[in-house]
Structure 1
Amino acid sequence: MKEVLNRRNTNPFWAKRSSLIVLFLVPLVWSLGFGQTVLYTYAQDVAPKFMLKGNSLTGFCHDIVVELNKELKSSGIRIEYKSNQLKTISEIFSALSKGEIQVFIGAAYDKQRGESANYLQPPLYGLREMFLVSAKEKEKFNEKLQVKIGVIGGTVTSESVPSIKVRQETVAFKNLDEALRALDERRIDAIFYSSLILGYTISASKGKYDYLTVPSEKYYHYIVYSKNLDKTVVEKLENVVKRLHSEGVIEKLIKKYSLEQYVSPGNTVEILTIDWKPYEWYDPVKKDWVGVDVDVVRAVLNKMGYKPVFITFPWPRCVELMKVGAYDGIMSLRISDERKGFLSFPEEPLSTGKDVLFKLKGSKVSINSLEGVPPETLCGYTDGYAYGDWFWNSRFRKIAVPTDEVGFKLLQGGRIELFVCNLLVGRQLAKELGINVEWSPTFGEKMIYYLAFSNNYQGTLLSENFSQVLRQFKSTKEYLQILSKYGITYEDFWK
């Protein structure tokens, strides 16, 4: 028997297997032996996420570790560094897959890495990709047709450099310090990396560096954990992250590092919209967005633990920004084949409406049927909106206008004879502009409107969860009260 044991212990395969078992059991041993579960982590070699001051770690993500430990203490869980040595992101994910560490604080989602590690919801913070340039060379950069762009090799960002020049070359560097030296020596023209790191670099440079105002995808950093981590521990981590958001802790850390311009809390959902009464509009008195869809979205996202922030641009611009994933969502809009290519639509719709033709009261143009509208009649429509086939297939002439309000003003001035618009929106606009109008019957199907999210990892998760919570919310008294507040009944939308 002794000989068998000795042979087993000297077998290389068995020795390797035993080492792996020991690595995976470390947290369990702590839990059983000392009443505390220790989750090991590493610090990444990038400022301001992690920085070394002497032998001590500091930085934005290190501060998050400190705050997490304050909240986890009562649960008998603690996050500890395996060592104070700074690691590359590739080394960190390798350590996660091997079981050397159990968690990492502050990683972007990557499909390949997601096969060996899990991503905790909700995210810690949101950020974007950006281009850093020398402040002195910024104007020259804008004039160049050919540029060299530095990236940090092995990062998610390095794999998604957008095309901003006729000819551009990507040069990989080991870390940001190497890339900055190359930029200072004019061996490269710009650096493409996350707004967290480059924003901090710009703030600390006192005018030496600047950034290019190029729309780029918004993405998130998460707590990443090993796939074998106990589900109970994962749930406690999730609850703690939610508390840090609800108590404004992450937001305070963002301000501590002067990152407000570059980073947002992970529970903030940025939604693009426009003035479109009674669905959504900006109230200058309240200095906030209101409307039936706004109130419903705000209530549903709050129940999910998220805080919506509404942002406006002209509608075509909103759509273009969502094509590059610059914001989290856009409302209220219809599904189309084109939009499904860059947006994630929830199964549950947000609201409905009917598109009709408006004309000035007393106009001789007949709108009782599409066939009765003379072919020479000029009808306005809002550029970028998705109308039904009945409209596009009709014989009358069509002209695009930038907004519904412009369309009604053109109708009022006799520049156009008809304007197609959502019935509720058109009646509201006509009332505010003091225009006496008439409208046609509904020629097409009922319009179904959605809050659509970015077609990426976080957007897909938000879309699925939003759909579930919205479906439940529609059966509540609170939902009916929101509809009633804007003079809408449940039957108006859903019957």
Structure 2
Amino acid sequence: MLSAVKRQVRFLTLLLLSTLFLLSSKIANANTEPHTTKVSANRLIFASSEYLPHYGTDLPKQGAVVEIVRRAFALRQLQIEVAFMPFARALYDTQQGQFAGIIAIWHTEERAENFLYSDPIYATQMVLFKRAGEFQYFNNLADLLNSEGTLGLVTGYAQNTLLANSRFNKVSVATDEQIFSMLALRRVDLVPADLQNGLYLISKLPAAQRQVQLDWITPVLEHKPMHLAFPKNRPESLLLQQEFNLGLQALTASGELNQILLELLPEPASSPLQ
């Protein structure tokens, strides 16, 4: 009887060891087999702030940038959705991997640590807005930045290094609308902004604030390309970057990108108001 029990225990032990060996072999094979990353065709959701008139919720087709992004992906058989929110939240949530990417941001070395950048979509013209009649007597930007005054900034926006290191006092607020209102109310003296965005926001100021004439300093401070950016912590980001760049190249080569700009982007003014 004891011998029979020993044989049964030995059999069960061997069976258990065999099962564990098979399971460990399957796990090892699964870890060593090559795999490919596929992009889900269901829901590619991109975060975006509003940067009028370039992109925004209520613009026709949500603006030129969104339409370019949408059509570039469509050429690669990918459909996207856009979730609009404040810029700082869009940037943070996308960096955390909650969205497939962000529409659209300027390049900085700091951001490049966390994002893959697309090829440039198109460039914005950055100028310094001011009140008419002020800051008229400076021969170059260096002289201007060594003067005194208050620089109005939007929290989270990448800023020109010269401006960041200037002697100006700096005030930051949450939105573009707020900072242009402060310029009209004489609470700040200079506001760096895209030319078209600034002109759009000035046109939307309350009537009393529009009585204060605002213009801008020439020449253009810099041309800053806008990019689609993909978080590095999502496995499909490299493939999405490649797919978007291919779609963007096709849009450019066919002339469709220029057609979108002509249809959806206002013609920029070429000289400051006097």
TM-score (norm 1): 0.45
Distance 1:309 1:93, change over 3 A: farther
In structure 2, the partner of 1:441 is 218
CA shift, 1:315, in A, is: 1.3
**1:464 aligned to 2:239?**
no
CA shift, 1:398, in A, is: 1.5
**1:338 aligned to 2:104?**
no
Describe the superposition over 1:78-136 as per-residue Cα deviations: whole angstroms up to 9, x where unpaired: xxxxxxxxxxxx969938948xxxxxxxxxxxxxx4x513236333xxxxxxxxxxxxx
Give 3-state SS (helix, strand or coil) of 1:282's partner. Answer: coil
CA shift, 1:441, in A, is: 1.9
Structure 1 contact 358–419 (Cα < 8 Å) conserved: yes
Q: Percent identity?
A: 24
In structure 1, the partner of 2:176 is 404
**1:94 aligned to 2:26?**
yes
CA shift, 1:292, in A, is: 1.0
In structure 2, the partner of 1:350 is 121
- The whole-number CA distance in structure 1 between the counterparts of 2:193 and 2:258 is 25
- Report the residue type matching 1:480 in the other structure: N
Describe the superposition over 1:183-240 as per-residue Cα deviations: whole angstroms up to 9, x where unpaired: xxxxxxxxxxxxxxxxxxxxxxxxxxxxxxxxxxxxxxxxxxxxxxxxxxxxxxxxxx
- The whole-number CA distance in structure 1 between the counterparts of 2:162 and 2:24 is 56
- The whole-number CA distance in structure 2 between the counterparts of 1:400 and 1:91 is 58
2:165 to 380, 383, 393: 393
Structure 1 contact 408–430 (Cα < 8 Å) conserved: yes
In structure 2, the partner of 1:106 is none
CA shift, 1:325, in A, is: 1.0
Matches within 5 A, 1:17-56: none
CA shift, 1:299, in A, is: 0.5
Higher relative contact order (CA 8 A, sep 6+): 2
In structure 1, the partner of 2:11 is none
- Report the residue type matching 1:486 in the other structure: L
CA shift, 1:298, in A, is: 0.8
2:52 to 277, 292, 310: 277
- The whole-number CA distance in structure 1 between the counterparts of 2:25 and 2:102 is 34
RMSD: 2.8
CA shift, 1:477, in A, is: 3.1
Structure number with the higher strand fraction is 1
- Report the residue type matching 1:411 in the other structure: L
- The whole-number CA distance in structure 2 between the counterparts of 1:369 and 1:428 is 27
Where has structure 1 moved over 4 Å in runs of 4 or more? 90-93, 95-98, 364-368
- The whole-number CA distance in structure 1 between the counterparts of 2:151 and 2:126 is 13
Structure 2 contact 90–102 (Cα < 8 Å) conserved: yes
Matches within 5 A, 1:206-221: none
2:36 to 96, 111, 119: 119
- The whole-number CA distance in structure 2 between the counterparts of 1:362 and 1:290 is 36
- The whole-number CA distance in structure 2 between the counterparts of 1:279 and 1:93 is 55
Distance 1:358 1:91, change over 3 A: farther
1:318 to 90, 95, 110: 90
CA shift, 1:418, in A, is: 1.4
CA shift, 1:373, in A, is: 5.4
CA shift, 1:352, in A, is: 0.7
Matches within 5 A, 1:84-163: 94=26, 97=29, 113=31, 115-119=32-36, 121-123=38-40
- The whole-number CA distance in structure 1 between the counterparts of 2:214 and 2:139 is 14
Distance 1:401 1:390, change over 3 A: same
CA shift, 1:442, in A, is: 4.0
Distance 1:443 1:480, change over 3 A: closer
Runs of 5+ consecutive residues of structure 2 not aligned to the other structure: 1-21
CA shift, 1:290, in A, is: 1.1
- The whole-number CA distance in structure 1 between the counterparts of 2:138 and 2:178 is 21
Matches within 5 A, 1:251-270: 266-270=41-45
CA shift, 1:366, in A, is: 5.0
Describe the superposition over 1:47-100 as per-residue Cα deviations: whole angstroms up to 9, x where unpaired: xxxxxxxxxxxxxxxxxxxxxxxxxxxxxxxxxxxxxxxxxxx969938948xx
Structure 1 contact 381–419 (Cα < 8 Å) conserved: yes
- Report the residue type matching 1:476 in the other structure: S
In structure 2, the partner of 1:27 is none
- The whole-number CA distance in structure 1 between the counterparts of 2:37 and 2:28 is 14
**1:426 aligned to 2:198?**
yes
Runs of 5+ consecutive residues of structure 1 not aligned to the other structure: 1-89, 99-112, 124-265
- The whole-number CA distance in structure 2 between the counterparts of 1:385 and 1:367 is 26
CA shift, 1:407, in A, is: 0.5
How many residues in Structure 1 have an aligned counterpart in Structure 2?
A: 240
- The whole-number CA distance in structure 2 between the counterparts of 1:323 and 1:95 is 32
Give 3-state SS (helix, strand or coil) of 1:441's partner. Answer: strand
Describe the superposition over 1:417-443 as per-residue Cα deviations: whole angstroms up to 9, x where unpaired: 211111111111112226332111246
- The whole-number CA distance in structure 2 between the counterparts of 1:366 and 1:398 is 22
